[in-house]
Structure 1
Amino acid sequence: MSGSLWLKPPAATPPLPAPPRPRRRPTAPAPDGTAPDTPSPDGGSPVGTAPDPLDELADRLDDFVAAAVHPDEVAALLESDGMTDDHIRLSYGRNDSFALAEDLYARVERRHPAPAPTGPAAPAASAEGLAACLLRGLLFALPGLAHVLAGPLLAGQPGRYGLPAGTVPLLAGAVTGWTWNQVLSHRAHTWLGLGDRPAAARALLTGAPAGALAGTAAALAAATGGEGPAVVFAAGQALYLAAATVLLVLGRERALLTALLPLLGALPALRWDLPDPLRAALPALSLAAAVLAAARALRPGTARGAAGRGGPPLADSVPYGLFGLGSGLLVLHTGLGTTLAAGAGTVVALTLSMGPAEWLLHRFRRGSLTRLRTLTTARAFRRAATGTLVLCLGAYLTVLLLLALAAAPLGPGDPRPDPARLLTLLLVGTVLWLGLLLQSFGAVLGAAAVCLLAAAAQTLDPAAGALAAGGAAAALAVLSRVLLVRPTAHRP
């Protein structure tokens, strides 16, 4: 059972309470120098004039315009409301949405909700979020202990491409599972975002078994004679990935952790030989517990009427699967750069780092929203968002480096880390973190394309690992800098 690199997208930011609305800026004097029209006694339109449609629009969009840091934000809202240039010219006398947005932006006084409190409760909430993300990182890594237990059971003649016996079907099943479960988790999260938990459970109830069958079929198709035990293990791996996806999407991390506890029996196997029945029983027990926990979590999906209305288009979920495919292949190439055993520390470091990576993704989003509420110009926001992006990425790479140094002794021979392997690992870590960041903001298609191109380059020429990862990291850094420093990308 292999750890999945699936990562839950950050939850939507709850709406902030609206502050008291101050009066709009005073109306400027008329061009001839006379005072503006006086209001009527009942507070309505000025005496002797028709209501100004621009005033009515400003009143309707007051809260949004007051919190905007650039007129382009207002223009984007107008266009999303379906206002065409013809309509704007006829109704408001402006040439286009940008001219109208500039007038609205100048007419409404800037005001931003106060930043979130930073008292004693704020660090506690941050620590709680960090603990949850670290738990998820542990959940990604623990299934790797099943390979430690089952390794002697899968031993046989040397496999293809210089890899141990059974490696190819195991990898085929794992990559298929990563790809399928990325698509499935996106569809289920879309239902959860709509507030329809039974529909999300129904989507998982349909998609998870299909994903387990797809992973098993891929392993079976990639197997050759004598790799039957590896196919059986790959089937269990596919079933586990399906169950883990269900539990992670539905927020049942503690249930999944409980199901994985039997795998801790692999720790003695790192030093002593264990009986074969025990080696087989511990992963089987953990798998059965995970499947039962997932089945219990899916009971709302069996209710009549669940997922009764149209769901998200399948085309919207496909890019998430492509990103899962590309990132999964990059991780496999990084772990198999020399031999399977030599890459063990690399894979452990990457899987454990997914917990801190998720916390830093949330940290970037929270920091950007805070800057959005406190800064008043687009230039200042771009500068602050760039700094936050660099700090969060640097923090993730620091954690990844420390984990790699700690995991280096897991490999055979000299426990000192190889500088070339460390460089490739950090470049792949940059690709993963920036790709996940772009995915969380909906820019998944670009991230998927870059990851797939890098994975294809490594597949064609395994020696080009650092070069392919470096090119992908540079491309995603540019894409993140272009897309994520815009204020409109961070509107709640």
Structure 2
Amino acid sequence: MSGSIQLPPGAGPATLPSIPRQRTPSWAQPDPLDELATRLADFIAAAVHPDEIAALLESDGLSDDQIRERYGVKNSFALAETLYDRTPRRYPEPDGPLHDPWQTGLLGCLLRGVVFALPGLAYVLGAPLMTGPRDHDLPAGTIPLLAGALVGWTWNQGLAHRSYSWLGLGDRRGAKRSLLLGAPVGAVLGALVAWWVALPGDLPGAAFATGQSLYLAASTILLVLGRERALLLALLPMATGGAVALAHPMPDAARVVLLLGSLAAVVVLGSIEVASAVRAPKGRGELRDQPPRTRSRNSTMAPPISASLPYALFGLGTGTLVLHAALANPLTAVALTLSMGPAEWLLHRFRSASLAGLRNTSTPKAFWRTTTRTLTQCLTAYLATVLALALATRIDPSAALLLATVLWTGLLLQSFGAILTATAVTCTAALAQTTTLLTHTGGTPWTALTIHGTAAAAQAALVCALLGRATAHR
């Protein structure tokens, strides 16, 4: 029949011929940017700043070369800005309760501040026992004590960072193993340096510095593992004896017993805490209840030792600044040490409020205003605390306030991840103050005030530069 459709052989009346599938022309291929925006739509829509998107792209392993080839923009920041501009803002509420890792109690932070300050009473008990020669017009035993303290603070600051890195991975046993191996090394290094710099005949000073090194190592274990109350109980006999010695004479034998008793208690408690890392076979312990995939990931994500070096140097810089303040007036170091408890709590408050600001603000400018207001409140509260302690101890408030600003802004930069910057500023300030002391070129209090003021201004400017970056608050 003319004009009819010829059916293939065996086809029934209901069978229709197949229609060739349309091919998409090459010029109509989907836009890679659209595909990426669709895939990351929820994250992009909830981002407060393009930097958040850039951090996600970099964490996915996208290099700048790949970005230029696939998406036609020069780098991850340009791609993040493009995605941010083309995606409307929306902030979905989470299904469950909000996770805030910066929530902490004031009482616990105050307890840590007290624990930091109590060892100072050990020097009250030990001072009459120092019978060695004087050096540079300093009391007997000062040189080995200062050298051992600086080594201990430096080493244990780096050790604490490495152990906290393991805890952040959920591997408590890994943290204990780090402390088990690192704490004795720090104690030995501190003791060796103290004996090396001790003057001939300064046996009491070197022996006291050895005990100091043992205490710093053991107390680091207890503080990292959250055993502040146990450390406080171990220090109470020594602290009570030191307080009594301030008002009444005490036999030397009683001083030695109190010092060695508290030191032994702290060392034993620290050893008990890390003993489980020796008893548990490798691959078991605290990780035994985790899924196999989590255990495997944690075991291959061991923090590199080099990552802890800046934190160790930060401890050296801040420790040197505090020691200079203690040489000028020991009560300044006491006030600053007591303020570390409120400083830690206010730092956590600031970071917690910053996370809330990320959720509750919709523009970078609004987020910057929120964090600036919170920073002003927290820093003012901390400096008010330091001022109250300075007035209570009758020390120069200006010196204490400037150094406190250096310490708190340094800790804030550290929590932002800008540890290299904080370390550079504090170590430079410490080097400048040490140089003026050794060369006798800056013996006036104005020299220290100038150095501390410059460091405080530099770190405050760096903090302000990071306030508006959402990625710094993650």
Other-structure match for 2:88: 109
Can you list the C-alpha shifts for 1:101-123, whole angstroms capped at 9, x where unaligned? 344324433233659999xxx9x
Other-structure match for 1:64: 43
- C-alpha contact (below 8 Å) 2:132/2:205 kept by paired residues: no
- C-alpha contact (below 8 Å) 1:155/1:164 kept by paired residues: no
Q: CA deviation at 1:355?
A: 0.3
Can you list the C-alpha shifts for 1:294-322, whole angstroms capped at 9, x where unaligned? 11110232133269656322221111111
One-letter amino acid matched to 1:269: A
Q: 1:274 to 1:374 in 2, by over 3 A?
A: same
One-letter amino acid matched to 2:307: D
Distance between the aligned counterparts of 2:365 and 2:77, measured in 1? Answer: 18
Distance between the aligned counterparts of 2:357 and 2:94, measured in 1? Answer: 9
Can you list the C-alpha shifts for 1:328-382, whole angstroms capped at 9, x where unaligned? 1100111112xxxxx2221110110000000011011011111111111112222
Q: CA deviation at 1:96?
A: 4.9
One-letter amino acid matched to 1:477: A
Map residues 253-268 of structure 1 onto 2, 5 A cutoff.
Answer: 253-263=228-238, 264-268=240-244
Can you list the C-alpha shifts for 1:41-74, whole angstroms capped at 9, x where unaligned? xxxxxxxx87654444234323321221122322
Other-structure match for 1:174: 149
Query: Are 2:458 and 1:475 aligned?
Result: yes
Distance between the aligned counterparts of 2:268 and 2:351, measured in 1? Answer: 35
- C-alpha contact (below 8 Å) 2:387/2:401 kept by paired residues: yes
Which structure is higher in helix share? 2
Other-structure match for 1:285: 261
Map residues 193-232 of structure 1 onto 2, 5 A cutoff.
Answer: 193-232=168-207
Q: Secondary structure at the match of 1:64?
A: helix
Q: CA deviation at 1:94?
A: 5.3
The one of 389, 394, 397 equivalent to 2:383 is: 397
Q: Which has the higher mean CA deviation after the structures are superposed, 84-93 or 378-387?
A: 84-93
One-letter amino acid matched to 1:333: H
Map residues 250-329 of structure 1 onto 2, 5 A cutoff.
Answer: 250-263=225-238, 264-302=240-278, 303-305=280-282, 311-329=302-320
Q: Which has the higher mean CA deviation after the structures are superposed, 458-467 or 275-284?
A: 458-467
Map residues 23-422 of structure 1 onto 2, 5 A cutoff.
Answer: 53-88=32-67, 90-92=69-71, 96-112=75-91, 129-157=105-133, 159-263=134-238, 264-302=240-278, 303-305=280-282, 311-337=302-328, 343-408=329-394, 417=395, 421-422=396-397
Q: 1:331 to 1:85 in 2, by over 3 A?
A: closer
Query: Are 2:409 and 1:446 aligned?
Result: no
Distance between the aligned counterparts of 1:117 and 1:131, measured in 2? Answer: 28
Distance between the aligned counterparts of 1:93 and 1:446, measured in 2? Answer: 34
Q: 1:381 to 1:308 in 2, by over 3 A?
A: closer
One-letter amino acid matched to 2:281: R
Q: Secondary structure at the match of 2:119?
A: helix
Other-structure match for 1:8: none
Can you list the C-alpha shifts for 1:184-210, whole angstroms capped at 9, x where unaligned? 011111111111111111111000000
- C-alpha contact (below 8 Å) 1:115/1:370 kept by paired residues: no
One-letter amino acid matched to 1:224: L
Q: Secondary structure at the match of 1:273?
A: coil
Q: CA deviation at 1:95?
A: 5.9
Q: 1:346 to 1:89 in 2, by over 3 A?
A: closer
Distance between the aligned counterparts of 2:245 and 2:130, measured in 1? Answer: 15
Alpha-carbon RMSD:
2.5
Q: Which has the higher mean CA deviation after the structures are superposed, 433-442 or 383-392?
A: 383-392
Q: Secondary structure at the match of 2:136?
A: helix
Q: 1:184 to 1:116 in 2, by over 3 A?
A: farther
Distance between the aligned counterparts of 1:445 and 1:236, measured in 2? Answer: 32
Q: Secondary structure at the match of 2:234?
A: helix
One-letter amino acid matched to 1:305: K
One-letter amino acid matched to 1:201: K
Other-structure match for 1:465: 448
Can you list the C-alpha shifts for 1:81-109, whole angstroms capped at 9, x where unaligned? 23245534554465654454344324433
One-letter amino acid matched to 1:383: R
- C-alpha contact (below 8 Å) 1:371/1:384 kept by paired residues: yes
Other-structure match for 1:17: none
- C-alpha contact (below 8 Å) 2:121/2:242 kept by paired residues: yes
- C-alpha contact (below 8 Å) 1:115/1:373 kept by paired residues: no
Other-structure match for 1:31: none
Where in structure 2 are there 5+ consecutive unaligned residues? 1-27, 284-297, 438-442
Distance between the aligned counterparts of 1:89 and 1:460, measured in 2? Answer: 50
- C-alpha contact (below 8 Å) 2:191/2:209 kept by paired residues: yes
> Which is greater in Rg?
2
Other-structure match for 1:429: 404
Can you list the C-alpha shifts for 1:135-154, whole angstroms capped at 9, x where unaligned? 00000001111111111111
One-letter amino acid matched to 2:39: R
Distance between the aligned counterparts of 2:351 and 2:96, measured in 1? Answer: 16
Q: CA deviation at 1:275?
A: 1.5
Q: Which has the higher mean CA deviation after the structures are superposed, 453-462 or 314-323?
A: 453-462
Please report the TM-score for the alignment, with normalisation by the length of structure 1.
0.80
Distance between the aligned counterparts of 2:95 and 2:117, measured in 1? Answer: 34
One-letter amino acid matched to 1:180: W
- C-alpha contact (below 8 Å) 2:51/2:469 kept by paired residues: no
Same amino acid, percent of matched pairs: 57
Other-structure match for 2:9: none
Report how many residues are paired: 421
Q: 1:428 to 1:93 in 2, by over 3 A?
A: closer
One-letter amino acid matched to 1:320: Y
Q: 1:377 to 1:399 in 2, by over 3 A?
A: same
